[in-house]
Amino acid sequence: MFHIVPLRADCKSGCFHSTGGPRVQSAPMLKDIKHRLAALFEEAARELFAPHGEGMPAIEVTLERPRQPEHGDLACNLALQLAKPLKRSPRQVAEALAEAVRLVDEKGQHAIESIDIAGPGFINLRLTAATRREVVRRILTQGAGFGRNERGAGARVMVEFVSANPTGPLHVGHGRQAALGDTLSALLEANGWSVTREFYYNDAGAQIDNLARSVQARVRGIEPDDPAFPADGYRGHYVSEIAQAYMARATVVADRVPETVGAGDPDDLEAQRRFAVAYLRREQDLDLKAFGVRFDNYYLESSLYADGRVDRAVRALVEAGVTFEEGGALWLASTRFGDDKDRVMRKSEGGYTYFVPDVAYHVTKWERGFERVVNIQGSDHHGTIARVRAGLQALGLGIPSTYPQYVLHKMVTVMRGGQEVKISKRAGSYVTLRDLIEWSGARAESDDLGMAEQRGRDAVRFFLASRKADSEFVFDVDLALARSEDNPVYYIQYAHARICSVIEQAARLAGVDTERVQSEVLDAARRAASPFASLESEREFALMARLAAFPEVIETAADELAPHAMAFYLKELAADLHAYYNSERILVDDATVRSDRLALLLSVRQVLRNGLGLLGVSAPERM
């Protein structure tokens, strides 16, 4: 077998390893070319064993970039694996492998410019310029499809995220979940998975009771600072808004929720509960719409009780013999399934603990045909992982022990004007997602409202997806508003807009529209004996190498459930583009050079668009 080592995120910082500036030219190139080269090495190894009359042992052909760019574009350590079974020195094996690969490549691919042996037996390859330039043609030909693959083969996967209690507006933690979950969903789709985005409404339990009592208190004129206000009640101004709407007999329409009309009866607690939940579901729908996030399905916790699913799950666990009674409570023997201690399922005073409906809910996911599920949740849910998985294992339904997968995120701290912001006037005890969008898109005099909203959404989505989920994140509103290279969103979008400006200039000079520029660039490349041959500077090869890494970043980000990888990649691509733009004239007099440089810029623009699209961020043509 052979193994391609992708560009990977650093496990601590989340940053991609980069040598900085043009030295990146040894970064990964197109993956299919790497696969073909790996296959050449495997075939060469097989030939070395043929004279011995014995089969080749299992090997792993690893192609990765050398630490030092001067050592070439790719390095292979296969000779070190084969030396012992062949009873030859690693260097002798390396020389034999290199010669065999060189001969085969010369007959077919012509992808290798040189092969050198370094140290005890490392094989360093330098690729031909034509091979490295191939990425430009691929991008211009494939367009929005560049980087996408069919590795998932259409298999179904559910990504559950946000899943907020309908007890208040979405806060910045929910925003981080939304950014992570939606980006991860897009990345999985780019890898050929059929993705369902699901929102689980926790519309049952004590929190909903507290919401209803809070609304009733406001209906009766009881203020939050009054001793008569519920001790565990919700004190945000939005509760007063709900109470006023309820008494005004307002009609609430939320996504996939029956129309709800306020009864206006101050004593009907159940009516107030229904109205408050519907009202806040509508509020959350509006928050998500402003954030550009959509869901395919909403699942209600209350339906698990109404449909008897929670009781059935408990009975099934009892019948499976994995529960026991102690101290008047019903326990799950979860230590038999990897948990660190047994867990209470039904409390001695009655009522289920909160992980029990979670088990029932995940059974529905399995029964609906989702053999893979990814949950995006706050790190405070860490303790539920083992018990939910134990409950699913105990049911004996054939559910894998790693089901579901989890991405846990840490808290977000909001800074504004150099000070931490902890509360919102409307929410009372926390900063809402809508606050953050509005602050981050502060409207300038020349802006219309739509531009400000888009800028705010772009900033919040990018920032909240730009760090590893398990790291705490400080959201600096002032940085999100900055129009400088310190603001990564502005920096990346400016790279895109800069290219658009050059394309517009080229179109004006040629007397054609901007779409015609790309078609003429491709036509010129088809006519050329060696396409894009004038792209030969160090910075140009650096840009092409970075572009060629994009498909592997998509794969790695999805495989490792690491949406932040895309944000880091785009920032590095933008840095390469700005460096190139500042060092080279694009619209030179030489028609061939001008066409090739436009082709390179068009390729960068396409990859920026593709990557920003995966993050749910716009790619403006003007800044």
**Where residue 410 falls among pLDDT bands split at 50, 70, 90?**
very high
Query: Does residue 111 contact residue 548 with C-beta atoms inside 8 Å?
Result: no
Average pLDDT, the chain: 90
The rounded distance, in Å, linking the Cα atoms of 41 and 80 is 13
How far apart, in Å, are the Cα atoms of 1 and each of 39, 58, 59, 318?
9, 7, 6, 47
**Where residue 4 falls among pLDDT bands split at 50, 70, 90?**
very low
**Where residue 447 falls among pLDDT bands split at 50, 70, 90?**
low
pLDDT of res. 28? 41
- Asked if the domains at 2-127 and 485-615 fall in one CATH topology, the answer is no
Q: Per CATH, which fold does 485-615 belong to?
A: Isoleucyl-tRNA Synthetase; Domain 1 (1.10.730)
Nearest CA among 588, 603, 547 for reference residue 570: 547
3-state SS assignment for residue 552 = helix
Asked if the model's pLDDT at residue 164 lies above 50, the reply is yes
**Where residue 18 falls among pLDDT bands split at 50, 70, 90?**
very low
Asked if the model's pLDDT at residue 427 lies above 70, the reply is no
- Return the domain boundaries, the chain: 2-127, 206-282, 485-615
The rounded distance, in Å, linking the Cα atoms of 447 and 132 is 42
pLDDT of res. 154? 97
Phi then psi for residue 97, to 5 deg, are -65, -45
Instruction: Give pairs for 419-426: CB < 8 Å, separation 24+.
Output: 421/477, 424/236, 425/237, 426/169, 426/236, 426/237, 426/238
The residue that leads in pLDDT, 129 or 450, is 129
DSSP string, 491-547: HHHHHHHHHHHHHHHHHHHHTS-HHHHHHHHHHHHHHSSSTTTT--SHHHHHHHHHH
The rounded distance, in Å, linking the Cα atoms of 584 and 502 is 12
Nearest CA among 538, 564, 386, 613 for reference residue 21: 538
582 CB-near residues (< 8 Å, 6+ apart): none
pLDDT of res. 52? 67
CATH, range 2-127: 3.30.1360.70
pLDDT of res. 21? 35
Going by the DSSP 8-state scheme, the letter that residue 198 receives in this structure is E
The residue that leads in pLDDT, 213 or 423, is 213
Nearest CA among 590, 579, 372, 564 for reference residue 473: 564
CA within 13 Å, CB half, 247: 14
Burial category of 453 from C-beta neighbours within 10 Å (exposed 0-12, middle 13-18, buried 19 and up):
middle
Rank 243-257, 518-532, 569-583 by mean pLDDT and report only the highest. 569-583
The rounded distance, in Å, linking the Cα atoms of 154 and 169 is 35
* Whole-structure pTM value: 0.89
The rounded distance, in Å, linking the Cα atoms of 535 and 224 is 68
Burial category of 349 from C-beta neighbours within 10 Å (exposed 0-12, middle 13-18, buried 19 and up):
exposed
If one counts every other C-beta atom within 10 angstroms of the C-beta of residue 270, the result is 10
3-state SS assignment for residue 249 = coil
